[in-house]
Amino acid sequence: MPGAGWAVVYETPGALALLDTSGATTSALDAPPGAKALAAFADLLLVGGPTSPDLWAYRLQGSALVRAPERDVHAFAARGVRSLATTNRCIYGVDQRSDELRFHCGDRAGAVPVPRGPTQVVATPDHVLVTSPVSHVVTVFDATERGPVTSPIATIPNDGPLFVTSAAERGGDLFVASGGVENHPLDRRGGSFGYVDSFLYVHLVGKGHVDTVAAINVGEHGVVTPRALLTHIDGDALVVTAAAYGSDRGAVITVPLSQRAGSSTEPRVTTFAAAPGIVALARTADGTLLGASRILDGIIALGDEPHRLESTPLEVDAEDAELRLGEAMFFTTAMAPWQSSEGPLSRFTCETCHFEGGIDGRIHATGRADIVATTKPLFGLLNNGPHFTRALDEDMATMIFAEFRVAAKNSGHDAWFDLGEAPIEWIRREPWYGATAHDAPALRHALFSYLASSPHPPPEGAGRDHFDVSEQRGAEVFEDRCASCHAARLIASDPQSEVAFDDWEGLVLSTAGPIVWARDGYEKTGVVPYVHTDGARPSSLRRISRKTPLFTNGTARSLEEVVEGARFDAGTFFHAGGSARAERLDAQQARDLVAFLKLL
């Protein structure tokens, strides 16, 4: 905010704050619940959240922020807003749950479908770009004063997730920088996670074509899971500043604009000291680089000696300290501190395959014969044992010990270590570090505690009083056709926790949505190759509408496809296959069942 400092949006609680140049908060106001999206538009600041269809408006009054409700943009999104950008007198936003690019241009508003799970929109004077991590793609649209051209001019695909995008234009050329995972299939044959290093990609986008300009392994420079980028053109070079979520290093990558992948002129990479958890970057007038860290809960000045702009003593008790340690084990390299980027090896965090704790949208070879698997979300694990589709880990503690072993595999170091021995300086500077143990058992207990306290987000119908007619019919179809495998249990492995049908409605529409919709045991339903000789464990259907692709082999891309393929043959259920005489749901039953599944 020129002359006024910095505007910062806080997700928990939903708030918008104004910080002066020293980082001190000068004013703060309520914002939409779970606020994530922030953009400047004309004389306003607009803020959106994933559960509110409206954009809240604010303006500067002197040196303070004030609400401007008369300028709110009502019904901007179908469900909520994850990210905002503005250009050409238009407001753009992505609705993550309806998979749409929303736009508002004066008297014209609308939506354009985009690939599944959009999380970011960025705008240049002539283009709008949408990043969809679980779909592994950046979608590029032309932008006009009337909104986006309906069909994208280009897409930038990748084998793994692309987390973040930035762009710059020059002379009609659009240069797109993207931070994500290595453009290579995940390889588990070595027993560890192969070819999942963090990369920075630069592409030149034209109408109907995308040229690769550079692909830089920033993971080998210590920048792991890049989630924040700044991009500008300096002379004949594109300069990209990247900061990581999973490590405390950043990098400035200088790419000659005449560069093409494989040419003799390589990009120049210079690293700098940063902080973990960075999700946004900005530069002050004097060139200081600022980063917003969700892990450190602060605005950090990055450089030779990173430090919080506003130094507020952090009081932590042992429970809070353990959860912070568990968060670090999940989202940073603290769980695999000695991994390298040599050959197929990779520097990674849990988030490399579980974006924001969820999924990565991959179908990967497991390293066991021809068996493939899709990624499951790591929310709500405590009452969903046994774990993995093979159901080999009966409880979460067993699973966590196994994950530490895999994380350390091929690193040359034992999985049983004290964090004080690890080459991770930032964590030892945190005020909560000394409030908890950090030997090998404590690390596992901390990760356990963090995962146990990480619930699924609220279900689609949270807060409603009752099912609509279609959803009620769908619940009845589910009880009759699906619940024998996807049981209405509160604890997947405990038959005594099963919920009576009459109680489904209240629990499904509650904020917790606690029914697991799974059980232990194995079934063979035609989804091959089977991950276990006895088939596969019935997977949890909690928040199934947010997962993609579906089935262990990833052959279904939507709930509609899942329901369309369902067959009932002589008392046996098939997700795929079945004989020619097999029964299927009629069209009305299929629509009703999908409506119910979307609530779970």
8 A C-beta contact, residue 37 and residue 31: no
The neighbour count for residue 274, using CB atoms within 10 Å, is 27
Per DSSP, the chain holds a count of helices (H) and strands (E) of 8, 32
Nearby residues of 61 by Cβ (< 8 Å), 6 or more positions away = none
Q: From residue 443, give the alpha-carbon distance in Å to each of 24, 321, 412.
A: 34, 12, 19
Beta bridge partners of 73: 55
Domain ranges within the chain, ordered by starting residue: 327-452, 469-597
Residue 11, classed as helix, strand or coil, is: coil
Residue 257 and residue 233 in contact, taking contact as beta carbons nearer than 8 Å: yes
**SS3 readout for 237-263:** EEEEEEEECCCCEEEEEEEECCCCCCC
Q: What is the pTM of this model?
A: 0.95
Would you identify the CATH topology of the domain 469-597? Cytochrome Bc1 Complex; Chain D, domain 2 (1.10.760)
Angle of the 587-597 helix axis to the 469-481 helix axis, nearest 10: 100
CA atoms of 572 and 23, how far apart (whole Å): 63
CA distance 82 to 87: 17
Handedness of CA 217, 218, 222, 226 (dihedral sign): negative
> Rounded CA gap, 186 and 197, in Å?
10
- In which residue ranges of the chain is pLDDT below 70? 259-264, 311-315
Return the amino acid letter for 197: D
Which residues have CB under 8 Å from 15's CB, separation 6+? 9, 28, 29, 30, 31, 35
Give percent helix, percent strand, percent coil of the chain, each to the nearest 5. Answer: 20, 30, 50
281 beta partners = 291
- pLDDT score of 308: 84
Whether the Cβ atoms of residue 96 and residue 116 lie closer than 8 Å to each other: no
DSSP-assigned letters across all residues of 498-550: BPPGGGHHHHHTSSS-------SS-B--S-SS-SBTTBB-----TTGGG--SB
Contact 575, 536 (CB under 8 A): no
Element (H, E) at 373: strand 372-374
